[in-house]
Structure formats: structure tokens, C-alpha cells
Amino acid sequence: MSTTVAVAMSGGVDSSVAAALLSAAGHRVFGIMLRLWAEPDAPQAANRCCTLGAVDDARAVADRIGIPFSVIDVRDAFKAAVVDAWLAAAAAGETPNPCFNCNRRVRFGLLLDQAVALGADALATGHYARTRRAPDGTVELLRGVDAAKDQSYVLHALDQAQLARACFPLGAMRKTEVRATAERLGLLVAHRPDSVDLCWTAPDGAAGFLGRHLPAAAMVPGEIVDLAGRRLGTHAGLPRYTIGQRRGLGVATGEPVFVVRRDAVGNALVVGPAEALGTNDVIVRGMHYSGGAAPDGPVRVTAQVRYRAKAAAATLTPLPDGGAAVRFDAPVRAPAPGQGLVAWREDDTVVLGGGTIAAAA
């Protein structure tokens, strides 16, 4: 049955092919691109998700496949929901993932509301994920078929109302198929590189952005010490570093060392060998369950402690405060407070839910 679908377009190959496939399938399709906030005083002050070139590319794709296209300015809302929240978490000593808020509050929040107001039945994106209706009527979120590109991790916070209107045309495809499809359709973005890193920062990335936007009191230099407390060097402000980081530490010990802990009380960066990063137990706060309700008790899952981490077998136990205790069968590497822990049912396909890592033992 033909439906009206809004497509969140970025000028990239994924959203372009998503729009083309939906149009070819006979749906009424229109494209919307979001103009997002970028650091105004930095060199090349344009959000990498919506540069002038990206807008031109998205408009050219829309013209090629014959669909309407528009740009919506959400810079202020994006800054409040994503950038400011990320800064606040970083100032509190955490390593947040901004994609969670962007997908939940901007793409499937502001943009979905706008799309529905314009007559859309669904909002499509170029994410590599899938949905399906379960026998009990709930909408399940599934991994994308392409394991190397699966993005169900960054979509885990969507609720049932959002999932019911979500459309992921690329979920059953592999990236190579998507690029080949774009080439076959004559889309000029067929070989455009994928975007990486934070989209709103200047070329010096997250560390430079934090240095310019966090209060000076949060960026006070301090000692880098080993696990025995021996001084090895000086750090440039704790928020610039994350658990598990190896590069950019500026210390020489004769063997690789990694950030093991950020000691906010002593303003010290604690480093150690790779084996010091492993842990079996992680406490998560603010668990969101895709089906809407927490399990009645402990459940077997596979879980990831960061986007590109390998999924590992674990037992997840819901806690009375709305969090969860997750015990991995084998140690996982460097779970960082502020990052997301996302759990899939034991089949490692259907998202159970996820939350924010509060602590690791």
C-alpha cells in the first residue's frame, strides 16, 4: 500500500538511496534536510551534516528522483538538545554519545513531528537497522543485516511511538549494495565518504571544542600517574581524555599505556596497561526498554559498551531505581561513564534496551 514518507536527507549516499528506493516502490516521498548548529567562531564554521555542498547534493538527488525537498532550521534546538547536553556530561567527567539525543530528540523528535505535520505517515532515514511488529503488537528494533554498519546501537532510545513511524529502507542491505544502487541510479553521491567524528566541531575535533567551551575550572591541567601513583607527565584537563584512550597522552613508559581512570578529586589522569581496562560488572542508569517495560528479572543478553565494541554475552538485572546491573561472562574493555550500554536479546538481533554507563567494577 502506498504511503507518504518523509526522508531525512543529508546529502550522503545512505539517505539518498533510501529516498530513491521508497520513491521507486511507489510511495509518495519528500525529502527534508536539517540545518544544524555548528561552532560559529571556528574555522570552516559549518556543521558537517549540512554544509552548503551537502545541501546542494541532497537537492540534486531529490531533483534526480523527482521528489520535493526542503531545509528546516533547527540550529537552536539542536544546540540545546545535543551540544549543550554533551558539554554538561563532559564537564561532569563523562564521555557521552551525542547520537542518542540527536536521534531521539532531533531526528525522531523535532523532524518526525514536522514530517507528520506535513502529511507524512512515516519518517525514513539511511540508518542500517530494521523494525518489525511483534505478536504482542509492539514494534521491535533489530540490527541491520550488514554487521559492519549496524546502527541499532545509536537508535536504541527510540520509544514505541517513534519506532511505529520509523522506516529504515537500508536495513536489509549491505553498504556495498547501497553504493552500487546509487551508482546504478546515477546519483552523484554514490562514492561520497561516510561522515565521522562530531559534526559540529572545528577541524581540531572534540578536544579543541571542549577547550573553548568548558569553563576554565573544568580544564585545569594536572598530573598523569600510573596505577602505583607515580607521576608520568601532565594532562591538559580531564575532559579531554576518555577511558581506554592511548594516543595523545604524551608519556613514555617503554610500553603502551591507556587511560584507566579520571580522578576528579585529585585532578589526576590514571594510566596503566591494557589488562587494567577489563571489567565484568557495569552499572547502568536510566535504562530505556524498547518494548516499553523492563524484564521481570535477570535476563541473558548480548551487550555493547560503545558503538564499535564487539557484542558480548552477559546477564542484565533490572534495578529498582530504573537502572540495571550487567555482568559480562568475560571482561569487557574500558566501559566509560557516560557512554551507552545497549543490550540485545540473547539472539543478538532484537534490541532489548539501553542506558548510560554509571560505573564499572
Provide the annotated active-site residues: 102, 199
Sign of CA dihedral 100, 323, 96, 148: negative
Q: How far apart are CA 223 and CA 234, in angstroms?
A: 5
Q: How far apart are CA 182 and CA 16, in angstroms?
A: 8
Cβ–Cβ < 8 Å for 158, 108: yes
Q: How far apart are CA 173 and CA 73, in angstroms?
A: 31
The amino acid present at 70, given as its one-letter code, is S
225-226-228-231 Cα dihedral, nearest 10 degrees: -40
C-alpha cell at 14: 545512505
CA distances from 36 to 136, 167, 299 (A): 38, 22, 39
C-alpha cell at 162: 517513534
